[in-house]
Amino acid sequence: MKQNTGVSSMEITDANIKAFEPVAKKYGIDYSLKKVKGEEPPRYLVFFKGRDVDVMTEAFKEFAAKKLSREKKPSIRKALAAFKEKTKQINANREKVKNKDRGRDR
C-alpha cells in the first residue's frame, strides 16, 4: 500500500473471508484485510491496489458464482442424517431373535 499507487476497498463479511482467499490467490491479487472496530457483527474491509480493479472484479464474479452454486446443491450431511434416522426407526420396529439355532441336535 505504500508503493504510491491508488488503493480501492470493498466490504466483506466474516463468513466469506476464508472462502475468498483461494480465488484471490488464483488471480494473484495483493490485498489486505482490516476489521472495522466498534461494530457488533464484525465487518471487514478488503483493500487492494488500484491497478488490480479489473482483476478484482473478475475474481469477485468467480467467487460469487462459486458461492451461489454451492448454496444450490443439496447438503449431503443433512441427507445422511435423515437416512440415519430412518434406519433407526426401521431397526427399532424389527423383532430381535435371541435364540439362534446352530443346526445341532442335542
**pLDDT tens-digit profile, the chain (106 residues):** 455 455 555 666 666 677 778 888 888 877 777 888 887 777 777 777 756 677 877 887 888 788 777 777 778 888 899 999 999 888 887 777 677 677 766 5
Length of the chain: 106
CATH class of 7-93: alpha beta
Going from N- to C-terminal start, the domains of the chain cover: 7-93
Q: How far apart are CA 31 and CA 40, in angstroms?
A: 24
**10 Cβ neighbours under 8 A, 6+ residues apart:** 45, 46, 48, 56, 60
Give the CA angle between residues 43, 10, 72 to the nearest 5°.
Answer: 80
Q: Are the C-beta atoms of 27 and 52 separated by less than 8 Å?
A: no
Beta bridge partners of 11: 45
pTM of the model: 0.45
| b (16+ CB within 10 A) / e for 3-23 | eeeeeeeeebeeeeeeebeeb
